[in-house]
Structure 1
Amino acid sequence: MSAKTVYETVESERELLYDLAERLWETPELGLHEHESAEALATTLREEGFEVDMGVAGMPTAFVATYGEGDPTIGILGEYDALPGLSQEVKAERSPIERGGAGHGCGHNLFGTATLGAAVAVKRAIEDGELAGTIRYYGCPAEETLVGKTYMARAGVFDDLDAALTWHPGDLNTPRVGSSNALNSLLFEFEGEAAHAGGSPDSGRSALDAVELTNVGVEFMREHVSDDARLHYSIPDGGDAPNVVPAEASVWYFVRAPSREEVERNTDWLRDIAQGAATMTQTEVEERFLSGCHDYLPNGPVTDVIWENMEAVGPIEFDDADREFARDLLETVSESNRESRLEDLPEDLRETVEPHALYPDPVPPFNEDVTSGGSTEVGDVSYIAPTGQFNAATWPVGAPGHSWQVVAANGDFGKKGMLFAAKVLAGAAHDLMTDPETLAAAREEFEAATGGEPYETPLPPEAEPPFDMTAE
């Protein structure tokens, strides 16, 4: 049997997959609260014959769906959380469905659905006796806050995989061969004493002052960390009224760097700054470690299989209406925003894709030695099993991720990119399950890259999934 069989299975389920992606798009849910989305995906898999284990790793919206038995065991990773404040109709003008509501500005409605389509296609090949082994679908919540896979990894749910596959929506079809930043996510909660800010400020101790001093300290710290390191923050709680000295305040930090070691060094420095701010303001500080993830370790043999299937599946079949809508969306994107995306591309690739609103063809791997500024907890999976991932075009070339324009695209022509991704994933899983030599080469490269050391979670034993950091 060739991979063409699983491509055909995916194609035969186009209507089901389109309906499911639209259903998730219409009910966007924030991380760790994706109850409807997780249930829709899990129910579909259950009805298909998968054994579904809900609520893994202490997260009600995390699940593992399994079909088959024996080796090899191939895992396909799915995501389905949305982003706050990006509610948007399928229009080329800003038009929220619900003002302040969530929206799929990263395309996870397509992400979770494409991976499901691939898992179903492989399952049917196993059922028909054309493949042997085990296929797993991992329902991974809260990717946007780098939570889901890190807690799942700590729980050991990826430990017996021979390989893992995943993808992400984007503006080009290309394998991901570069790395990503490791990260720590932590919250500092300061406690002082309330007082009347006008009548008796001397009797108060401002927790907000401690937050601001922490942030000032970090600004001076920035000069002395590597150029690749990143520290950014938000203030979830800054007090309630100007005439009350805030007794409670908090600041939420992401600490990123290309390696876990540098992340840990910079986090320790950040902790010293927060403690110093508490000392200066005579307040108390408590730290909550929310999440942490590894850098991404791309596996060459697995990525090569992905690329072979991208070439075999061929261009996405965008039509004139898709291109027209994509052009309309791009007209609302500032030139500087599109420029900042395109300037990261090699010059010859940029010249090829820039004139297009949508670029349907597979693009060979590039930027192998580049570490992206962002982070992904796919990195943790990549330190447990050989892992490959790729991007597929679901939004206009150069449109910024996490934008309303992307929400609109992912509710429309993005579904065609989703179907492409499902075929590539199904084909890659098929090829890995029928080629023990490639799996052996993937394992050999993995062992060399990790030095044979077992995966270590960045999470301290007391860390728990931060359900309160995103509202339902």
Structure 2
Amino acid sequence: MSGYVAFGTDREGLHVLSSYDAGRRRLLRAFGLTAVAGPAAMRAADPVLGASFGYDEQIGVHSAAYEAPAGLAADSEAKATALAWIGVHSADIQQLSDEIWTHAELSLQEWNSSLAVADFLQRNGFSVRWGAGGFPAAFVATYGSGGPVIGFNAEYDALPGLSQKAGEGSHSPLVYRYDAYGPTYGPGHGDGHNNLGAGSAAAAVAVSKAIAAQGLRATVRVFGTTGEEQLVGKAYMVKDGVYDGLDAFMDWHPFPFTTAFWNTTSALASATFTFLGASGHGANPLGNKSGLDGATMMATMSEFLREKNVAPSGRFHYAIVNGGGAPNVTPDMCSIWYFIREGSPARVQTLYDKIVECAKGAAAASQTTLVHKFHSGTWNALGNKAGAELMNDNMQKIGPPAFTDADHALARRLQKSLGKPEAGMPTTIIPLTPPPPGYGGGPSTDTADVSWHTPALSALVATIPIGLPNHNWAVTATAAHHIGHQGTLSAARYLAASAIDLITQPDTLAAIQDEFTQRTAGVEWKSMIPDGTQPPLYEPPADFLARTGQHWPPPGVVWPVPEVVAREQLGTTGPALPPVT
């Protein structure tokens, strides 16, 4: 994901954490502090997490006593114009979402999906600049000039192995790839990024129509982002200055319930570890050096870290990328890909260093050569209470997504297929609740880096049945169904209405920006990506380059990428001995 808060769920969605003091004590212990430590000590221990939890405590925000303010979302002709445009053009918005769903393109290869979103924006008066941050499938689309500059997040990448027929209540991949020894499924939108991209683009266009109709002075920018599922695009784009100059940033994500929030997420590092050996026949393995042995040893060694070296807020998980083609060939190359998550960049680095030591030990034990490549890293998200309150008030006034009896029936079939309570779709908006005072870990998003450069307003909107996880085939089933369409349209309304308030209420925008300044005081953002790191890239098709006016490779990119080739010698069991006679 994209990734967001790790809420517990009851029958409608959100289970509010019950014990503020207990959660606070757990957080302080994680920092090595006592239960009497205050916000200043929390900031000193880890300024980045302190900007979230320490700030909320400093201003006296407690879950038990909190009540979201009302009256922030103002009725206006501009807002009415924006919401009316979404209603009139709902079929076009749904069509865009379904087109992205049909393409189901993986991260960093969203050629058709990015074109679909950019074409939609251009047809509605936006200018588009391709190649943002050096990524061919990333763009910045702009409308208007002067006034506050409001950004919108558009993503459109699918996930591997999550193909599913739209509207099917049991697992039925749309793309099934037969192989006699290892069948696979095609990619699918198991995180609903087709909904996300269409909903955000629609919100931006709706705001642009209001700007034009009401003579407002404002600038709208849509950031078409490649590779979010791999936490790549925005991390490099922010480092490259693509998001500079924004006054606020609007974002949402498909989820099993609907709410505004200002919680944090996990910081993350992404890296691959490739083990190079010497191939040989599996039936005569003496002297062979297996890259697969190196990768599996690393995985096993890292598992031993979990009990004594990984805090409750930490996570790491991995996938073997190329483990060999047949049992009778010892693979001389194997890569294992790790995501490493923690509550802040400093805490990620500590866990990351432990994982790297496992890789070194595995290479030594397997007699292979280690090639270690850092791919990307992103901070944990910085919330904004004032922004969340504005978003919440607009959401409450507009209302939740409207799901039909047929929608609930499909949701119950999916829940039954996955062994979850057959609760259907959520029917209300979860009340805005402060973040829990102790962070227990969870997903990540590269939007997090944007949130340290400008205030970010975020919503979670129901496009997924209650109790089902993101990154599952069931999400693909609803993403191109009436369920996904209703969530997409609601998200567009929430974002557009909140953006109009930012444009027409200078004091509201100023309060959101003031909170951002206070939270970030004393924190110097520095990208987790080392200088000189080349991002993971794929060469686009020639027709895509021609349509977007780009050239390959982008400036500063080394292409072809230097090959990683095993050149190890075969091993030995010692001096040759004479045969036994």
* 1:361 and 2:436 correspond: no
Q: How far has the Cα of 1:279 moved from its partner?
A: 2.3
What are the Cα deviations for residues 96-134 of structure 1, in whole angstroms up to 9, with x where unaligned?
A: 221111111111111100101110011112222442111
Does the CA-based 8 Å contact 2:290-2:366 persist in structure 1? yes
The answer (yes or no) to whether the contact 1:188–1:286 under 8 Å persists in 2 is yes
CA drift of 1:463 comes to 2.4
- The aligned amino acid for 1:402 is H
* Matches for 1:112-131 after TM superposition, within 5 Å: 112-131=197-216
The amino acid that maps onto 1:95 is: S
Given the alignment of the two structures, is residue 157 of structure 1 paired with residue 227 of structure 2, yes or no? Answer: no
Amino acid at match of 2:84: E
Query: Does the 8 Å contact 2:108/2:227 carry over to 1?
Result: yes
Q: Which secondary structure does the structure 1 equivalent of 2:109 belong to?
A: coil
Q: Tell me whether 1:447 sits opposite 2:532 in the alignment.
A: no
Q: 1:325 to 1:215 in 2, by over 3 A?
A: closer
Aligned equivalents of 1:60 and 1:396: distance in 2? Answer: 34
Which residue pairs with 1:397 in the alignment? Answer: 466
Q: Structure 2: 5+ residue runs without aligned partners?
A: 1-75, 177-184, 540-581
Cα pair 2:158 2:190 within 8 Å, conserved: yes
2:64 maps to none
- Give secondary structure in 2 for the equivalent of 1:400: coil
Amino acid at match of 2:118: A
* CA distances 1:33-82 after superposition (whole Å, capped 9, x unpaired): 11111001101111211110112112111111011111311101011111
Alignment deviations for residues 284-307 of structure 1 (CA, whole Å, 9 cap, x no partner):
211111111110111111111111
Instruction: Find out whether 1:415 has 2:485 as its counterpart.
Output: yes
- Is the Cα–Cα contact under 8 Å of residues 131 and 430 in structure 1 kept in the other structure? no
- Say whether the 8 Å CA contact 2:109–2:538 is kept in structure 1: no
Query: 1:375 maps to what in 2?
Result: 444
Q: Which amino acid aligns with 2:195?
A: L
Which secondary structure does the structure 2 equivalent of 1:285 belong to? strand
Following TM superposition, the consecutive aligned residue runs of length 4 or more in structure 1 with deviations greater than 6 angstroms are: none
- The 1:200/1:324 distance shift into structure 2, 3 A limit, reads closer
1:248-327 to structure 2, matched below 5 A, reads 248-327=333-412
Does the CA-based 8 Å contact 2:154-2:198 persist in structure 1? yes
- Kindly tell me the number of residue pairs found equivalent between the two proteins: 450
Q: Secondary structure at the match of 2:305?
A: helix
Letter in 1 for 2:276: E
Distance 1:385 1:277 in 2: 42
Greater shift after overlay, 229-238 or 422-431? Answer: 229-238
Answer yes or no: is 1:34 the counterpart of 2:110. Answer: yes
RMSD: 1.8
Q: Which runs of 5+ in 1 are unaligned?
A: 339-354
What displacement does 1:240 show? 3.2
2:326 aligned partner: 241
Aligned 8 A contact 1:182 1:294 in 2: yes
1:332 maps to 2:401:
no
What's the CA shift for 1:147? 1.2
In the superposition, the TM-score normalised over structure 1's length comes to 0.91
Match of 1:406 in 2: 475
**Which residue pairs with 2:280 in the alignment?**
195
1:94 maps to which of 152, 163, 171 = 171
Question: How far is 1:454 from its partner?
Answer: 4.4
1:9 aligns with 2:85: yes
Q: 1:206 aligns with which of 254, 275, 290?
A: 290
1:259 deviates by 0.9
TM-score (norm 2): 0.74
- Write out aligned runs for 1:159-174 (5 A): 159-174=244-259
* Corresponding letter in the other structure for 1:357: G
SS at match of 1:128: helix
1:48 to 117, 124, 149: 124
Q: Report the CA distance between 1:281 and its aligned residue.
A: 2.8
Specify the alignment match of 1:343 in structure 2. Answer: none
Instruction: Specify the SS of the correspondent of 1:331.
Output: helix
Q: Look up the equivalent residue of 1:33 and give its one-letter code.
A: Q
Distance 2:148 2:164 in 1: 42
Task: Give the one of 303, 307, 311 matched to 1:219.
Answer: 303
Is structure 2 residue 148 aligned with structure 1 residue 72?
Answer: yes
SS at match of 1:201: coil
CA distance in 1, matches of 2:417, 2:304: 37
Pairing partner for 2:223 from 135, 138, 147: 138
Q: What is the identity, as a one-letter code, of the residue corresponding to 1:210?
A: G
1:152-185 CA deviation, whole Å, 9 max, x = no partner?
1111111111111100011211012221110000
Between the aligned partners of 1:9 and 1:454, the Cα distance in structure 2 is 41
Query: For residues 326 and 200 of structure 1, what CA distance do their matches in structure 2 show?
Result: 52
> 2:106–2:157: 8 Å Cα contact kept in structure 1?
yes
Distance 2:538 2:272 in 1: 12
Q: CA deviation at 1:228?
A: 1.5
* Deviation string, structure 1 residues 422-464 (Cα, Å, up to 9, x no partner): 0000001100111222222222221222225443211122323
Match of 1:432 among 502, 519, 523: 502
Q: CA deviation at 1:138?
A: 0.8
One-letter identity of the residue aligned with 2:425: L
Shift of 1:206: 2.5
- 1:157-216 Cα offsets, whole Å, 9 max, x none, are 1111111110001121101222111000000111122234443623x3322222222222
Q: CA contact under 8 A between 1:122 and 1:429: conserved in structure 2?
A: yes
Residue 350 of structure 1: aligned partner: none
1:264-299 per-position Cα deviation (integer Å, ceiling 9, x unaligned): 111112112212222233322111111111101111
Bigger shift: residues 148-157 or 109-118: 148-157
Summarize the Cα distance change of 1:324–1:241 in structure 2 as closer, same or farther, 3 Å threshold. closer
In structure 2, which of residues 161, 179, 183 is the aligned counterpart of residue 85 of structure 1?
Answer: 161
- Equivalent pair of 1:201/1:245 in contact (CA under 8 Å): no
Q: Give the SS at the match of 2:351.
A: helix
Confirm whether residue 22 of structure 1 aligns to residue 125 of structure 2.
Answer: no
